[in-house]
A and B are shown apart, each in its own frame.
Chain A
Amino acid sequence: MPGELVLRGLTKRYPNGVLALDGVSLTLGKGMFGLLGPNGAGKSTLMRTLATLQLPDAGGAWLDGIDIIGDPQSLRQRLGYLPQEFGVYPGVSATELLHHLAILKGFDDKRVRGEMVDGLLEKVNLYEHRKRAVSGYSGGMRQRFGIAQCLIGDPELVIVDEPTAGLDPGERNRFYNILSEIGEQVIVLLSTHIVQDVRELCERMAIMNRGHVIYDGTTDDALGLIRGRVFEKKVSKGELAKTYQRHRVLSSKLVGGTPLVHVYSDGPPEEDGVQQEGYRPAEETLEDVYFAKLNEVI
């Protein structure tokens, strides 16, 4: 089926024994797909596998029928990849670097390449800064540069790994605007551990933990899983431990210095059959889904 990325049973064990992927199967269509998971869940391994940088021990992946594992070269022609952390050759200007990468992606014709590079720089609003060294860019500018290089040659699959780590909110918004635009045309696989991002950007998502996909579906469906079952309460620090013992606590975070706990419960939380005071239904968020899934309460 056109415009589809199919993953079947991808498994990867590192030599140190860590099982990074354990039978991951997913199907992605056009649009933004969010991949959530804690550190070490296997997200980056999955991303790098799809970016042809690693081979799985078992399983396969296909983009429009192209065998990613067996024929990485064909995939690379259709791929835009923004790794989690990337650096650049020091002192090289944005234009020069984009030209370099465009050549590596097969743009031999200098005129065409020049037009495209200028277009990309304008697109990500770096045109004014095109002669500056990318190594001197601020974090946000550099991520935009990253997106520009990602888009060289109209990729059909765009993979972005934790792209907003360390960006201030303004830059993050700018970045997502570009990303969502791309998502209208191609498959964008976005990995992040910021749940909010997924809610804002993605229609579909998956949650990974310890190499497994523990949720795969639309964000709305995900919220549906916990609708009406999350309650929140401000507790004192002294009560926190007790709360954890007695309830299925999804998360606790400090709000104004006082812990606010989210508790999963089919109905208003009870203790020994006694309904507890102070709990009120919380507005369900993906974060709750995320923690609920991680904690295997749903």
Chain B
Amino acid sequence: MFLRFELRHWLRRAMPWVFLAIVSLLFFGLIASDFVQLGGVQASVRRNSPTTIQNMYGVISLVGLLMTTVFMQATATRDYACGIDPLIFSKPIRRRDYFFGKFLGAYLIALIPTLGVTIGTLIGPWMPWVQPHRYGPASIEAHALGFFGLVVPNTLFTGAIIYALAVTFRSNLVSYVGAMLILVLYVIGRNLGSGLENRWLGGLVDPLGGLAMQIANRYRTIAEQNAGPVGMSGVLLANRLLWATAAVAILGFFYTRFRFSDRARVGLSRWGLRPMSRWGLRPSGGASGDVVGRSETGVAGDGMFPVATGRLAIGGYRPRDAGGFSWSRLGHLIWAETKGVVTSQAFLIIVILGMMNMAGSLASFKDLFDSRQYPVTYNMVDLIRGGFYLFLIGLITFYSGVILWRGRDARMQEIIDATPTGTASFLVAKVVAMLLAIGMILLSTIAVGVTAQTLAGYTRYELPVYFKSLLVLDWLQFAFMAVSAILLQVLLNQRYAAYFGFILVLVLFAFAPLLSGVTSNLVIFGGVPSSTYSDMNGFGPFVPGLFWFNLYWVLFCLLLLVVAYLFYVRGNDIDRQSRWAESKRRLRGAWPYGVSIVALLIGCGGWVYYNTDVLNRRYSREEIEGLQKGYELAYKRYQGVPQPRFEAFEFAIDIDPQARDLEAVVTARARNRGEGPIDRLHFTLPPQTKPEDVSIEIPGGKVDVDDPPHRWRSYLLDKPLGPGEAVTMTIRTKWLTPGFENQTSTTSLTQNGTFFNNGDIVPAIGYSADREVADPGRRKKLGLPERTRMPRLDPTDMVGRGNHYIAADSDWVTMRTVISTSIDQIAVAPGSLKREWSEGGRRYFEYELDHPSLNFYSFISARYEVAREKWNGIDLEVYHIPEHAYNVPRMLDSIRKSLAYYTEHYGPYRHRQCRIIEFPRYATFAQAFPGTMPYSEGIGFISDLREIGPEEIDPVFYVVSHEMAHQYWAHQVIGANMQGSEMLSESFSNYSALMVMEREYGKENMRKFLTHELDSYLAGRAGESQEERPLARAEGQAYIHYNKGSLVLYYLKEMIGEANVNRALRGLVERFGYRDPPYPTSADAIAAFREVTPPELQYLIDDWFENITIFSSEVVEATYRREGDAYVVEMVTRTDKYRVDGKGNETAVEVNDFIDVAVFAEPESGEGLGKPLAQERRRLTGPEHRFTFRVNAPPYQAGIDPYNLLIDRQPNRHLRRVTEQ
């Protein structure tokens, strides 16, 4: 009966159908239009692939939480809200029918809108404008699995919580809190799942199953994703069962608590919660309980009221100037309103939930490989933002309504409105109270942050950073939000419409810039330049922009408040006409304020515009791409045209850090190394300077073509440059920072931490392919031809091998630098420091490279402390800020040990110094330049290595030895600009670092590292946008040349021995180190490996370097029996081997491989691997094998490929506990 009633009730309402329409439209847009996107789009996964479709059902579960909440709440509290409950409950109905009937009805209705996914995604692909090749046939299975596997159980769970809470507490608010709780679980799951360790647990915790889906899909290739949906098994199945069971349990539990009894009792108090506290909200169930007209039951205890005698003795109290404005009255109002907000229970609950959510992530900071970071304050700030702000936005949304309707909710509005306090005071008090409440929350997050820091044993709190970030920058953002929310409440004068409107506005402003291409922060509400705090540089380059844009929006919000004042409802006239008339009346008093604010706003906006659009230029993405396209179309024909090559540089650079300016005079010598004369020189100007600020003087040369927008300039020589002849040119570059920008475009020039490359100030000779639009999708859109990511690997192409992949205008160059900076800073350029002096209040340094190097180096200036050491005549230096001294000894240690290994195995180190130089965290990487390694302050310098365990990876040690290895692999041996060349630099550097680490930490530590590399590789290939390549042909694919590179080279070393691998590598250094072209390719490296590999293992090179190979091994059975003192272990295994093509299609190939098998004792620490009791490397042919081992100690585990050396998507099946027969 109740089921049918609910269904009838809802089906006749517009809401389910409106939601259905919205969802259909949304998902139609997602699938049929490029404008609406969700997450990263992979070009080769079909837009309606079964997996994508299935994922969309996961997405609607999250979005649909809001809709489910609406249906469930309305259904659960409708009877109470309209006061019909006594009528219903006095009828002879059954509790069960009522409770479950209504739930089931609302549940079925809540499923309706989710069908919009089905509708939208089925229709989308049929639209005439779509590119048909990006779509496949609709998969019934995907829709079924998505709907029944995700949506149905999710709605059941979310619905159960919301309904049960709403019906039990008869309060919408409590069930909102329930919805928030689901969000918290969702976020906690995400946090848990972000590391490798607890991924499975995280997948279980996320109640919506999205994470479990991701985990199950993580290693699936494009082909698999296109072929079918993720099956219901493993963590996904476990997750679904867990939460469906939880839903039933929740419903059951609350059903036993459910009573028809009178509503006054059933409130929160029965649950030990006080009804919403003073000045705050009340549960909506008793919405009118406090109203005089209704609750006139008896007289409470004061029957003896003596009739007042005599005159009214209360006369004589007249207010002082009752009509005027008074600060103390405003102050009191603000206090009362603030108290009303912050002491209400809902407020506290939301804040506590937010804090809980935040605390989860505050507990530890993850660096590379799940290692810990010091909780430096900016990290805390970022975590607070990530963990709390969603709740804060929810709070602002909700309380904008509460605060504005507080008087009306309490039915006190008429009394209040009839007092002589000014309307503006009421409004201002509410707004200020809101802002104060937000401020208090932010303040309390700071307290939590500081506590978390203290608990982590970290005491450099940096309160000013907290305050500036949270209580100034973020608080202002929330203030803008709050003002607009309140304005909407005032204008619409309908609480729920305004909630909805506000959320719409939020979404609109989040997506409108993307969709419309509008970028100016002057027209995006609340828009300010994004900023990053750096321990080195503070808010450095962002300060002026932040100040002026915030001022602009503060003024704008004041104007909004004037509008809100005009329409603020006072009294009972709420029809549009009366409000309009009243606003005109108020305008008579308010216009001077409005006009002055507008004047200030125009002034401020004008100044901002002058800075962002006159002093600077703003480019939209389309404009930038247009310029890139123009450059490519006009000048691509000059690619490969013979040009002289740089061979020597003299730099004179003056940096003004405070002004963020620099001037450079560069004397550069270039030589014609070709066979014919050259009569024209072509230049591509630096990317960030103004083209007119770069001048090039060439003796006997004059400008032939000057194309500033495309940054192209050609010179015609009077006398052609003959073969072998050199030309010396003088380049003058000014790189200036005028005013401030809409978005700070460069952080290279900055107050403390200037960090730029030679390419930023010196023009490149000839055409630069790296200026082209790279993204295949964008190229297609722009009508540009398809472009390979890298030229094909072809060792016979000697022209192609004439350039390495870093630069196309030089080979090995010499350089000398005189660099000056402000008196308090140290400036660093490559090479040995020759001279240092002060002059005219500035500090000068002269450096010279000790050995010709790649034309690829950096210049840096900041206030540094320098840690120095000497190792075999080489200066080891770490330039860092005083606060970041934690890991400096570790870095020096790593340099020393790396140098020891590399000089022993690869050959001499050619520079006289190894420098690690800290730079601001605007970028988080470490990079190797000749003898110099800039290292971001955001990684490494703040890694917390205090309690690093034997099983954990020391990320600092690893990164430094990797960068040190680049001094050989890239800076001595540099690959030609062809596929596979990054193997020579990145894979070899990873291998080198692994060897240094293995020496330092032992073999067991490598296992952990390789597990991470395996995970990254498998996830990377699943996310491949074009085609996976074999290692020897990788083309800028980091997951291959870094992660797979580590796995493959380590495996090779395990199979043929470290000495052999190093012999091959040393051979490469000797043959190609610092040699002129032709540059080596991956084929040279493979040939070198083949030479040191015995014939029976040559297949390894085929499998791992030249093809994509994947294994799947499993211990099917492992048992043992005792024979006297010995144990006989029997193990049955299955191994399959696949060759995989670029799209992920697998073909089974015969197993004929050397694979390790082993039996282990129980590990002492309880986890990981125990002592090996027996271990062999066996050549296995065919899939299934049976092994028998005889061991002398109790066996615990047996395994095939137990160290996970082979690439396998389910490495956890390689070991099995041994059971007694």
Contact = CB atoms under 8 A, between A and B. Distances in A.
Q: Do A and B come from one complex?
A: yes
Interface in A38-66: 48, 51-55
Interface string B408-423: 0011101111111110
Interface stretch (B95-103, B206-214, B303-311, B639-647): B303-311
Nearest to A133: B278
Contacts of B416: 101, 104
Residue among B295, B319, B410 with the highest chain A CB neighbour number at 10 A: B319
Contacts of B329: 103-104, 106, 108
A92 B278 contact: yes
Given A91-B278, A100-B336, A139-B296, A86 B291 contact: yes
Interface size class of B (residues with CB under 8 A): 35 or more
B312 A181 contact: yes
Contacts of B576: 15
Contacts of B578: 54-55
A105 B319 contact: yes
Interface stretch (B149-157, B567-575, B723-731): B567-575
A77 B313 CA distance: 20
Interface in A136-177: 137-143, 146, 149, 151-154, 165-168, 170-171, 174, 177
Contacts of B277: 91
A186 B294 CA distance: 30
Contacts of B333: 103-104
Interface stretch (A118-126, A220-228, A274-282): A118-126
Contact of B419 (A14, A105, A143): A105
A73 B422 contact: yes
A267 B573 CA distance: 49
Contacts of B412: 86-89
Given A48-B571, A90-B276, A125-B306, A185 B312 contact: yes
B848 interface: no
Interface string B14-43: 000000000000000000000000000000
A62 B1022 CA distance: 80
A74 interface: yes
A76 B420 contact: yes
B292 A90 contact: no
A115 interface: yes
Interface size class of A (residues with CB under 8 A): 35 or more
A84 B413 CA distance: 12
Nearest to A75: B420
A115 B300 CA distance: 27
A141 B295 CA distance: 12
A146 B292 CA distance: 10
B586 to A, nearest CB: 12
A151 B419 CA distance: 12
A193 to B, nearest CB: 13
A13 B405 CA distance: 26
B76 to A, nearest CB: 22
A76 B418 contact: yes
B323 A170 contact: no
B322 interface: yes
Contact of B577 (A15, A106, A141, A181): A15
B561 to A, nearest CB: 20
Contact of B292 (A107, A139, A168): A139
B326 interface: yes
Given A53-B572, A141-B302, A181-B308, A90 B275 contact: yes
A118 to B, nearest CB: 10
Question: Which secondary structure dominates chain B's binding surface?
Answer: loop
Contacts of B323: 73-74, 76-77, 106
B293 A84 contact: yes
A51 B332 contact: no
A174 B414 contact: no
A112 interface: yes
B299 A140 contact: yes
B314 A87 contact: no
A139 B295 contact: yes
Nearest to A47: B414
A76 B571 CA distance: 12
Interface string A68-105: 00000110110101111111111110000000110111
Given A89-B412, A107-B319, A119-B313, A79 B418 contact: yes
Given A91-B279, A105-B322, A116-B314, A177 B307 contact: yes
Given A89-B278, A116-B314, A125-B305, A53 B418 contact: yes
B298 A138 contact: yes
B94 interface: no
Contact of A154 (B298, B316, B418, B582): B316
Contacts of B322: 76-77, 105-106, 153
A190 interface: no
Contact of A123 (B278, B312, B316, B406): B312
B270 interface: no
B314 A151 contact: yes
A107 to B, nearest CB: 5
B1124 interface: no
B279 A92 contact: yes
B302 A87 contact: no
Nearest to A99: B332
B300 A185 contact: no
A109 interface: yes
Nearest to B317: A116
Contacts of B317: 107, 112, 115-116, 119, 152-154
A293 interface: no
Contact of A125 (B296, B308, B326, B406): B308
Contacts of B312: 123, 151, 181-182, 184-185
A19 to B, nearest CB: 14
Contacts of A210: none
B315 interface: yes
A83 B414 contact: yes
Nearest to B292: A142
Given A140-B299, A185-B312, A89 B307 contact: no
Contacts of A165: 293
Contacts of B686: none
Nearest to A84: B293
Contacts of A77: 319, 322-323, 420
B410 A55 contact: no
A234 interface: no
Given A48-B414, A87-B291, A165-B293, A104 B313 contact: no
A178 interface: yes
Residue among A76, A112, A178 with the highest chain B CB neighbour number at 10 A: A76
B390 interface: no
Contacts of A112: 317
A135 interface: yes
Contact of B300 (A119, A125, A133, A138): A138
A120 B314 contact: yes
Given A51-B414, A90-B275, A185 B290 contact: no
Residue among B294, B322, B328, B578 with the highest chain A CB neighbour number at 10 A: B322
Given A89-B279, A107-B317, A153-B322, A177 B575 contact: no
Given A77-B319, A106-B329, A166 B293 contact: yes
Contact of A178 (B308, B319, B418, B419): B308
A129 interface: yes
B418 A55 contact: no
Interface in B382-426: 406, 410-412, 414-422
8 contacts: A55-B573, A91-B277, A106-B319, A107-B317, A108-B319, A129-B302, A139-B297, A168-B299
The 7 closest A-B pairs by CB, nearest first: A87-B411, A106-B322, A106-B319, A53-B571, A166-B296, A91-B278, A76-B420
Given A86-B292, A141-B302, A152-B317, 10 more contacts: A53-B572, A54-B572, A86-B415, A90-B279, A91-B280, A105-B322, A106-B321, A139-B292, A154-B318, A181-B311
Interface of B: 275-280, 282, 288-300, 302-303, 305-308, 311-323, 326, 328-329, 332-333, 336, 340, 406, 410-412, 414-422, 570-573, 575-578, 581-582
